[in-house]
Amino acid sequence: MDIQMVEEKIKSYKKEVTEFHPFLKNFLPKVPHIKHVEYTHGNSEYGVDFILIEEDDKLKSEKYIGVIVKTGKIRQSSVEGIERQIRESFKMPKIVFNGSKEVNLKTVWLISNDTITSNARRKIFKYFREVNIEVIDSLLLSRLVAFHHPEYINGLVENVFAITNQHVPDSGELPKVDTEGKYKGYYENVYGEQFIFLGDRQTERAVIYGGDFGWETEIVIFAGMDGGDWIFGDAEILWISNCYATMTNSKIEEIYNEFFHKLNPFNALAGRLPY
């Protein structure tokens, strides 16, 4: 997955409370060892927008982390307001679990959905040498999201269009395929029979799936292959040839001349020519 795409989406959150906070409320519980996320933003937040309860497996204890959230770039000039929030977060005890427990923070995470300049980082760490501060900018946050929150990644990938299986149940289960980085093609003939082309540019091999053959059947094609027992119609062979030639950057005439006989043995037996 392209980290840049994730970062661009995270940077697009312009409204801190109504856009970025809901995203973090969904993401923070995905972070390993975080067993509870308390949303504390409001008049009585005392510096932090979230409180995370981290489980320490070795000591069988809990650690409490305050999260300060910012949208937009954090520069040296904007550190003053953040400094106040950090001091408040360590100074005042925090109430969690609907007021049933009082805790003191040991760590603060400063999370921004944009960049944090090096001067801003130096200033923050200079002011708070005696406490534990973690600075998380948009790039680091994007990497964490890509690693711990695949559901979010899947939501970023929009389909160009969706296709409904038109074949009867006897055609078998739909193929479960990995399309990442593959050349993809779809064809539907005049009878409504559906075919999928899935090709690998590196190996220059492709797999054809079709409901007419049974969706579970994989028909592997490549230049120089032997003929098989399957029978494709002329229009289907032209489509397959076009997909393969495009995938391999080959001449369509040469591919079609070969596949015309390899993908329908009756063409060769009858002495039919492609054109």
For the chain, domain boundaries: 3-156, 169-269
DSSP string, 186-228: EEE-TT--EEEEEEETTTTEEEEEETTT-TT--EEE-TTPPP-
For position 93, what pLDDT does the model report?
Answer: 84
For position 94, what pLDDT does the model report?
Answer: 85
Under the banding of pLDDT at 50, 70 and 90, the label for residue 242 is very high
Contact 86, 128 (CB under 8 A): yes
Domain 3-156 CATH class label: alpha beta
pLDDT tens, residue by residue, 58-70: 878 899 999 999 9
Quote the CA–CA distance of 177 and 195 in Å, as a whole number: 14
For 131, the token pair is 């406490």
3-class SS of residue 245: helix
pLDDT tens, residue by residue, 120-168: 999 999 989 888 999 999 999 999 998 998 888 777 766 667 788 988 8
Residues whose CB falls within 8 Å of the CB of residue 272, separated by 6 or more in sequence, listed in order:
260, 266
Quote the CA–CA distance of 128 and 135 in Å, as a whole number: 12
Give the pLDDT mean for 218-229: 90
* Residue 64 parent element (H or E): strand 61-70
The fraction of the chain above a pLDDT of 90, given in percent, is 61
Burial of 159 (0-12, 13-18, 19+ CB in 10 A): exposed
Contact 12, 29 (CB under 8 A): no
Quote the CA–CA distance of 157 and 152 in Å, as a whole number: 9
pLDDT tens, residue by residue, 9-64: 999 999 999 999 999 999 999 999 999 999 988 766 678 999 999 998 887 889 99
pLDDT tens, residue by residue, 61-108: 899 999 999 999 999 998 988 999 999 898 888 888 877 888 889 899
Q: In what order do the strands lie in the sheet with 205-210?
A: 183-188, 194-200, 205-210, 219-221
